[in-house]
Structure 1
Amino acid sequence: MLGIIGGTSLLFSTIPDLKKESVATPFGNADLLSGEIVMLMRHQYGRPPHRINFRANLAAMAIAGVDRIVAFGSSGSLKKEIPPGTILIPTDYISMTDIPSIHDHAIEHVRPELSRALAEKLSAVVSEARLGGVYVQTKGPRIETVAEVKTLAKIADIVGMTVASEATLACELGMDFAALCTIDNYANGLGAEVLTFDHILSTSKAYSHRTGEILGSIIRQMG
């Protein structure tokens, strides 16, 4: 079953009519929207990135029968050649913060990775997407400093606050994972404007129709 994780980029888009259910996991409860697919809105109840219960969210999706996940992620560009409005499917990731694990009481050596096969299939469905690039995750909720952005730009292409945690847990739980990142802003210091959360939201809203159409295409062709 296909699972969709939505965040800021889906706040203003039309989502399928699915049934809400609460799923109990060893890490707490998580609310899912279930039907022909399973959707999870990572910021439910206004939860900021550093307060998300990633373990409960991904465990709930696994319990619901999800075997592959496409995660929408609102991201900032670390490179001038990746302007706001771009859609990018990263093929690797870096974390600058603690990554959760389901393995609290055992030593496990699961190779964390994004699914190249799922990413390539996703790029065929979303033809306007740019395939390839490195996503770097910071903790949030604050926006990165200019000095941090200059440093991160040396090792990655885009920056966000959620995808690396979700990808790692999906891998541990045996689910294929690919991310579809909407570039909603230049990272702090790269653009002419002063970056604020309101600015990020306004860009998400401006592209909401396109994002909704992309979501519909993914469900029809990959669900």
Structure 2
Amino acid sequence: MTGILGIIGGSGLYDLPGLTDTGWVAVDTPWGAPSDEIFMGTLQQGDKASRLAFLPRHGRGHRVPPSEVNYRANIAALKQLGVTDVLSLSAVGGLRADLPPGTFVVVDQFIDRTFAREKSFFGTGLVAHVSMARPVCPRLGDHVQAGLAALGVPHVRGGTYLAMEGPQFSTLAESQLYRSWNCDVIGMTNMPEAKLAREAELCYASVAMVTDFDCWHPHHDDVTVEAIIGVLLSNADHGRALVVQAAQAVTHDVHAAGCSCRSALQHALITSPTARDPLMVERLRTIAGRVL
């Protein structure tokens, strides 16, 4: 085993057949508590075992709204547990007619329209700037795409995720604006999650599961609650199957150690060593210890 796969998503993702050595682990971080305890387990596939860590993004029972998720604590907790790769699964609205409900989009770009969230581990006393030009891990994306193809799940490789603040959904004017920007899906949770994963030198992939068309669609108001719930349940089943399908490839990838995501901080620290705040340095040991 070369890594530990962390999965951030809905509460039901950890209900996998064959998952053993399981238990909930409470983790405290310098940024407070994550959304919930983290469910650890081992998935045995043939002669290979994959260690997995599941974090309910909104807490069990969906208690925490998107703007109040402690994204820094979530990523830090996974890092502290030894997670090396993060697979983010999230429900989204579709902004294109050819991405109907039930489609999975392996996201490769983001537009961040959130404004009420802490977006960095770094700050006064220790400044860092990481590149977000390519915000997801292409190696991890390859494994995800292969898993979706093997399962026969309708999917698209590549797409732009518009991250909005919420918790309210878009106005019609906003939805039309985002379509004019060539965004593909819209959601409320992948930012600053992806930014923090990059700062923590974790490989990160985002799988956006389309549940409905956003309000731009002329028949949006005709969609029933029952139809949306049906798509949600189907997406959850496919999400669990994807985790099983991709786990072995991700956690036993011999090329993972050389992935550029894992050296994202190599030239990112700007504050000179003599000017660094000792308290900030200590706080950031888990996140940036490799370069501190």
Q: Do the two structures share a fold, i.e. TM-score over 0.5?
A: yes
Whose RCO is larger (CA < 8 A, sep 6+)? 1
Q: Gapped runs of 5+ residues in structure 2? A: 42-50, 252-292
- State how far apart, in whole Å, the 2-side matches of 1:87 and 1:172 are: 26
Q: CA deviation at 1:206?
A: 3.6
- For normalisation by structure 2, the TM-score amounts to 0.70
Decide whether aligned partners of structure 1 residues 80 and 13 sit closer, same or farther in structure 2, where only a CA change above 3 A counts.
farther
Decide whether aligned partners of structure 1 residues 137 and 200 sit closer, same or farther in structure 2, where only a CA change above 3 A counts.
farther
- State how far apart, in whole Å, the 2-side matches of 1:101 and 1:191 are: 39
Q: Contact 2:209/2:235 (CA < 8 Å) preserved in 1?
A: no
**Which residue does 1:203 correspond to in 2?**
231
| Bigger radius of gyration among the two | 2
Match of 1:162 among 189, 200, 215: 189
- State how far apart, in whole Å, the 2-side matches of 1:61 and 1:111 are: 21
Matched residue of 1:37: which SS?
strand
- State how far apart, in whole Å, the 1-side matches of 2:241 and 2:195 are: 28
Match of 2:146 among 124, 128, 139: 124
- State how far apart, in whole Å, the 1-side matches of 2:78 and 2:225 are: 28
Kindly report which structure 2 residues correspond to 1:66-215, keeping only aligned pairs within 5 A, or say none: 66-98=83-115, 100-105=119-124, 106-112=126-132, 113-127=135-149, 128=153, 129-155=155-181, 156-194=183-221, 200-215=228-243
Q: CA deviation at 1:159?
A: 0.5
- State how far apart, in whole Å, the 2-side matches of 1:102 and 1:197 are: 39
- State how far apart, in whole Å, the 2-side matches of 1:145 and 1:70 are: 30
Q: CA deviation at 1:201?
A: 4.0
**More displaced, 138-147 or 12-21?**
12-21
Q: Contact 1:21/1:34 (CA < 8 Å) preserved in 2?
A: yes
Supply the RMSD in Å over aligned alpha carbons: 2.1
**Which residue does 1:33 correspond to in 2?**
39
Decide whether aligned partners of structure 1 residues 38 and 150 sit closer, same or farther in structure 2, where only a CA change above 3 A counts.
same
How many correspondences in the alignment?
221
Matched residue of 2:170: which SS?
coil
Q: CA deviation at 1:33?
A: 1.1
